Amino acid sequence: QVQLVESGGGLVQPGGSLRLSCAASGSIFSIYAMGWYRQAPGKQRELVATITSGAVTNYADSVKGRFTISRDNAKNTVSLQMNSLKPEDTAVYYCNADTVVAAGTPLSDYWGQGTQVTVSS
């Protein structure tokens, strides 16, 4: 069992910034990738950014140049620095981890509970 806990969401004005953090805990052998996804009302969940243990990153086109993902492999944490926020960034943001929980087991996806980000005047 792996638990992911997000923090840092809130209400911010357009053009503002927020930093989201996620900490993984539990039975973890190795986390190969971590990332952030978001789901806005009436829309499907979409990828925001991912990062591998080797620091290879992937961003959605809509957030490139504005968001930065980073991780601390030793602490099993991932962060998302969000700058120049727009109203369309409003969504519940979910932390994801692609994890091996024990030696010899396959990769499994784990999800956090989500944190609300609202960008509005």
Tens-level pLDDT at each residue, the chain (121 residues): 899 999 999 999 999 999 999 999 998 888 899 999 999 999 999 999 999 989 999 999 999 999 999 998 888 999 999 999 999 999 999 999 999 888 888 889 999 999 999 999 9
How far is Cα 92 from Cα 102, in angstroms, rounded to an integer? 30
Contact 94, 45 (CB under 8 A): yes
Nearest one of 85, 88, 82, 54 to 69, comparing CA atoms: 82
Angle (CA) 63 67 25, round 5°: 115
How far is Cα 49 from Cα 19, in angstroms, rounded to an integer? 13
**Which pLDDT belongs to residue 30?**
86
How far is Cα 110 from Cα 121, in angstroms, rounded to an integer? 34
**Which pLDDT belongs to residue 75?**
86
Phi, psi torsion values for 16, nearest 5 degrees? -80, -175
**Which pLDDT belongs to residue 106?**
87
**Which pLDDT belongs to residue 105?**
87
**Which pLDDT belongs to residue 27?**
85
How far is Cα 91 from Cα 119, in angstroms, rounded to an integer? 9
**Which pLDDT belongs to residue 82?**
98
Q: CA distances (Å), 17 to each of 25, 71, 83, in order? A: 27, 19, 4
Beta-bridged to residue 93, according to DSSP, are: 38, 115
